[in-house]
Structure 1
Amino acid sequence: MATIKDVAKAAGVSVTTVSATINDSAPVSATLRARVNAAIAAVGYVPNPVARNLRLGRSRQIGLLVPDIAAPYAASIARSMQAALSDKGYSMFFASNGDDPARELADIARMSDHQVAGLVLFPTCLGERYAENIIPALRRPTVIIDRIIEGAPFDCVVDDNALGARLIVHHLLQLGHRDIAVIAGRTGISVSDDRLEGTRAALSEAGHPVPDNFVYTHHQREDQAFRAAQDLMSRQNRPTAIVTINTMQTRGVLQGLKSMGLKAPDDVSLISFDGLHFSAGFDPEITSLDQDIPAIAEAAAGMLIERLEAEDTTARATPPRLLRLPSRLIVRSSCRRRG
């Protein structure tokens, strides 16, 4: 395999001149540049782009960090992000931390050691002083997705959860539902808080506030939603509709109903914020918000690469942007008109 020394010998120039020609790191006359390029072709030298990027402090590799790749939403984000980055000439370095903020910090450090150009972070938002710990660790250009980290000086792409809540509530009210329960996730995480607060606000505005005993927080897992469904449906005054925050909760509710000999929508209507293609695979098929995950990935990749490829430090230092992308409600067969 030809080396840079072979090119220098064939061109009759120094290795420094060959390096300057390849890397554009110093002025080289047109005559010398032509000789070097001819020598490169003659000896069959192929520059190593990884080594070149490291020398120049550049990289075309982006790190993606997600809390749990087993979660359908995170898996879909990873697939779409890889496609979006590939279309822009970048590759992806991936890590899943199992919802462990300590591992998340370790993964960020490891990616920095691998000289990634920037990061797309789907944050855990867990643990005391999370923002205080995570923000200093993000020493490379970063875009946050799905969850907002208060005070983080980075661009952020999230779903418009307030709009989604209004779409869900409007649909249930149109079907005559008034006794509506919400199974939510961890408090203190923006996506869960926004979905719960948005649903409660929309119902309150319509004159049908959600009773506190119809709200389950910290029930993000399938087994927790299973027990919540059993609890709700064993009551004398049980809800006529249940709202879930994510796909795992939806699966848990369906199993909880099945364990009691109940079924949606015959015994209770079921609707979810988390759509994906899995909603059409349940029995019944779940009425849900359809999140445009490719659009989220495209927007995040575009924002990050725009920062990376900005030609001056002023452009790179513009204020962080927050982009909220709308979802649409897909009506399937899990909700029924009351009465």
Structure 2
Amino acid sequence: MATIRDVARLANVSPTTVSATLTGSAPVSEELKKRVWEAVEKAKYRPDPFARNLRKGISTTIGFVAPDIAAPWVSHLAKAVQRSIAERGYNMLLASNEDDPDRELEDIALMINHRVAGLIIAPTSLGDGYAEKFASAISCPAVLVDRIVAPDRFDVVADDNELGGTLIAEYLVRLGHSRAAMLVGRPGISASFERFDAVEAAFAKAGRPLDERFICHSVHTQDLAYSEVQRLMTQPERPTVIICISNPQVQGTMAGLKNMGLRVPDDVSVISFDGFNPTEGWYPSITCLVQDTDTLSNRAVDRLLARIDDKSELDREVMRIRPRLRIGDSCAPPTQ
């Protein structure tokens, strides 16, 4: 059976570096991490977390609390987190609360009662006094993903929404769009207002400020997007592009436009922050941002393991993951 020393020899690093990479207990450069993980696979090394954590008196299970496992971005993220956890010798316990903050608190309590080593949570972020209730419910190491809540209490790993909004706006400006509609999600969710703020700022910087008539707030379901799109496209002056921040919005937008007999991108362009299924395989293919879920999950797991290893002196940090813009067939220069 391979040992840490075998991995260190293959990676040409010290055993200490291997240990730091596997546990996240100390900073390791991306280059060294890559070498270590390649050596881990080559040597078929598998740590014995049960023995290690038994000595420490902690569990080998990490809980992942998700808002809605049926949502494509959540299922993609859950798979990536599970893979990252397994690579480090842990097991994952999954709970999905369907965006219900009360169920979320129940799930957190249940996992803590099961003595999980730590939690990775994509918070619902909903309801009055949410942040305090949420923070008070957590009594074990925890890292948040995608949505920011109480950043002074928790580490967070999330998309760089400012960069994402800038990429989308600059691309649309290059195509010549000046009448952009934007479907904004639920109030109180950090990803929603960050994405809107970024798009608004980038269009303003380009001298093409968003028109208030084309900004649709609290559009967080497919049905709401369907209705809003039909309202937008029956105005005397119509937008030339519709910006969505989620897949349900894309689904509702495309269905609403089809119902009106409008073609994408001939009659109106569509672009999205969310690049997961079902936008993949659609015609026209949707121009969208793509999350780097592997990097996001690895960062979250590394940070959580560092917290589990009692590195409480680490400063709380909001870590941003850069998205990329994938060009599809749903955007074209405006014809109006």
CA distance in 1, matches of 2:207, 2:308: 49
Aligned match for 1:320, one of 305, 316, 320? 316
In 2, distance between residues paired with 1:79 and 1:104?
Answer: 20
Structure 2 residue 128 is the aligned partner of structure 1 residue 132: no
SS at match of 2:181: strand
Q: 1:279: Cα distance to partner?
A: 2.6
> RMSD of the alignment, in Å?
1.8
Give 1:92-171 correspondences, 5 Å limit. Answer: 92-171=92-171
TM-score normalised over the length of structure 1: 0.82
- Please tell me whether the aligned partners of residues 81 and 298 of structure 2 are also in contact (alpha carbons under 8 angstroms): yes
Tell me the secondary structure at the aligned position of residue 144 of structure 1: strand
Greater gyration radius: 1
CA 1:150–1:53 in structure 2 vs 1: closer, same or farther (change >3 Å)? closer
Bigger shift: 220-229 or 269-278?
269-278
* Alignment correspondent of 2:330: 334
Q: How does 1:222-233 map to 2 (within 5 A)?
A: 222-233=222-233
CA distance in structure 2 between the partners assigned to 1:328 and 1:278 by the alignment: 18
The 5 A counterparts of 1:253-332 are 253-310=253-310, 315-332=311-328
**SS of equivalent residue, structure 1 residue 316:** coil
Residue in structure 2 matched with residue 179 of structure 1 by the alignment? 179
Q: Distance in 2 between matches of 1:218 and 1:278?
A: 22
Counterpart contact for 1:135–1:152, Cα < 8 Å = no
Residues in 2 aligned to 1:54 and 1:256: alpha-carbon distance in whole angstroms: 56
Cα offsets for 1:110-157 (capped at 9, x unmatched): 000111000001000001000110101111000010011135411110
Unaligned runs of 5+ in 2: 1-48
Superposed CA deviations along residues 185-206 of structure 1, whole A, max 9, x for unmatched, are 0122110000011111111111
Q: Contact 2:151–2:317 (CA<8 Å) still a contact in 1?
A: no
State which drifts further: 137-146 or 149-158. 149-158
CA distance in 2, matches of 1:326, 1:59: 32
Contact map agreement 1:67 1:123 (CA 8 A) in 2: yes
Identity between Structure 1 and Structure 2 (%): 43
What is the CA-CA distance between 1:309 and the residue it aligns to? Answer: 2.4
State the 1:317 CA deviation: 3.2
Alignment of 1:247 with 2:247, yes or no, is yes
C-alpha distance in 1, partners of 2:174/2:138? 46
Q: How many pairs align?
A: 288
Query: Quick check: 1:131–1:152 contact (8 Å CA) kept in 2?
Result: no
One-letter amino acid matched to 1:86: A
1:33-68 C-alpha deviation (Å, 9 max, x unpaired): xxxxxxxxxxxxxxxx87996785311100000111
- SS at 2:125 equivalent: coil
